Amino acid sequence: MDSQTKPEPMRVLVTGGSGLVGKAIEHVVKQEGGCLEGEQWNFLCSKEANLVCSARDLQQTRAVFEKYRPTHVIHLAAKVGGLYLHMKENLHFLRDNLRINDNVLQTSHERGVTKVVSCLSSCIFPDKTTYPIDESMIHNGPPHDSNFGYSHAKRMIDIQNRGYFVQHGRRYTAVIPTNVYGPYDNFNCENGHVLSALMHKTYAAKKEGTPLQVWGSGTPRRQFIYSLDVARLFLWVLREYDEIDPIILSVGEEEELPIKDAVEMIADALDFKGQIVFDTSKSDGQMKKTASNAKLRRYLPDFTFTPLSEGIKKTCDWFVNNYDIART
């Protein structure tokens, strides 16, 4: 083979393409020049295929792979929800996500996909641990009880990636973003992620002239990362990151802050002047899960993250301007 022959352009299939991170990747690909010449990017939504089908019936998953013939896969599809939905339905989150992940990874292997980048979550780390958390600590103990089903299903992607590499030489890997927020999130007040749910609650409280009710004490600390930053890093992982072991995508430890501070930023962004009430009868969930981004910084020391106040303002503006189409 001629050493000068260019590799075949990637055909990328993004599962979960209509969700928070999928829409952000689509923006980076189509609006920021993220698509290189000759590449094909296909963003799969849940309406196009049921990836939760049983292991005995992979027809829908296989049909999608046959249709798009991906050389690379970004695997975002998952059954997701907010803290309180996880607490009510841990078994459903476990079973559905195990099925989704196994269907996508096994079909990728069967079809000879060169690389899969799956999306994990910082909730997979042990509840009782030392801080900051890093990539070597994923399996050091059980996750927090509030979302153990989802967490264990996500952990198994790391185990499967290792298995596909050891047994078949597949270069499948995963990223671990901290708390992602941004346009196209699920803004449902009960089942959405913390910032998006708070944005909707604040919007409604302002409109109705009522106090803003925040579930929990507001004291748990989180590292929030803007969805477009995650998308830009996903493309780097897809093209450049060659490890099987996962990598944490996060702002620095010094950027971790109490949810109460984020509530104030949301109130400012939406010009909410009313009373803010913290309902301490509601669970706080995990009080902190400080993650180290030292590994990411070794690779990308100069990557610039969107400041939280700026990202919150952009997301609030998107929500207000797109309220009719937002997931609420």
The owner of tokens 């409109």 is: 207
The owner of tokens 């020391």 is: 301
d(CA 65, CA 151): 27
Cβ neighbourhood burial of 301 (10 Å; 0-12, 13-18, 19+): exposed
Residue 78 phi, psi dihedral angles, 5° rounding: -165, 155
Q: Please indicate whether residue 150 is annotated as part of the active site.
A: yes
The two three-digit tokens of residue 254, written as one number = 């010094």
Cβ neighbourhood burial of 199 (10 Å; 0-12, 13-18, 19+): buried
How many residues are given for the chain?
Answer: 328
DSSP letter for each residue of 101-136: HHHHHHHHHHTT-SEEEEE--GGGS-SS--SSB-GG
Contact 16, 75 (CB under 8 A): yes
191 CA to centre of own chain = 15
Contact 138, 125 (CB under 8 A): yes
Contact 15, 44 (CB under 8 A): yes
Choose the catalytic residue: 68, 150, 164, 226: 150
Bridge partners (DSSP) of residue 40 are 11
Q: Name the residue type at position 232.
A: R
Bridge partners (DSSP) of residue 222 are 257
Strand 179-181 relative to strand 171-177, pairing: unpaired
The SS3 call for residue 69 is coil
Q: Give the residue among 49, 98, 73 at the shortest CA–CA distance from 170.
A: 73
Q: Which residues are catalytic?
A: 150
